[in-house]
Amino acid sequence: MLFKFRRHWETPWEVVDSKAVKPVYMYYDDEDSLDIVAVSDADTRGTYVFEVNHLTRTALRNAVTFSRQQLIHQVAKKGFNVLVLESWRLTIFRRGKSHRVEVMYSGRPAEALGKLPHLPPPPFMDVLHEFM
């Protein structure tokens, strides 16, 4: 069979809500401690899916934060250590009483020299307050 079809008895996941943050610069020229020596030609993107037992703001924040950490680990394998431009999209799915959270995190990797500043939280996390 060429295509795999969903079983008739499976209930599909329905989209409950979705929020997105457009690309935001995370570091600016006035930060003297950060010396950027190389920037990637393209953004790097990762999509991460989480099964959530109790849908709370904390669970959503943790999903976005963990997705960012995973993306930073992914770009570190290519020799980069910061994301100078970041964006994300969070989508909540529901099937019966189960919830699934999908986070698509994107960033422009760069290599910075010197001591890296404390990693700020992902941009515009307050958008998640609109979910609950």
pTM of the model: 0.86
Higher local confidence (pLDDT), 54 or 1: 54
pLDDT digits (tens, 9 = 90+) for 116-131: 877 888 989 888 887 6
The radius of gyration of the chain's CA atoms, rounded to the nearest angstrom, is 18
φ, ψ of residue 73 in degrees (nearest 5): -65, -40
What residues does each domain of the chain span?
Answer: 14-130
Q: What is the pLDDT of residue 60?
A: 95
Q: Which residues pair with 107 in a beta bridge?
A: 44, 86
10: its two tokens: 């499976």
Q: What is the pLDDT of residue 41?
A: 95
The phi-psi region of residue 88 (left if phi > 0; otherwise alpha if psi is between -120 and 50; otherwise beta) is: beta
pLDDT digits (tens, 9 = 90+) for 14-60: 999 999 999 999 876 655 667 889 999 999 999 999 999 889 999 99
113: its two tokens: 């020299």
pLDDT exceeds cutoff 80 at 5 = no
pLDDT digits (tens, 9 = 90+) for 63-118: 999 999 999 999 999 999 999 999 999 999 999 999 999 999 999 999 998 888 77
- The b-or-e profile of 25-55 (16+ CB within 10 A means b, else e) is ebbeeeeeebeeeeebeeebebebeeebeeb
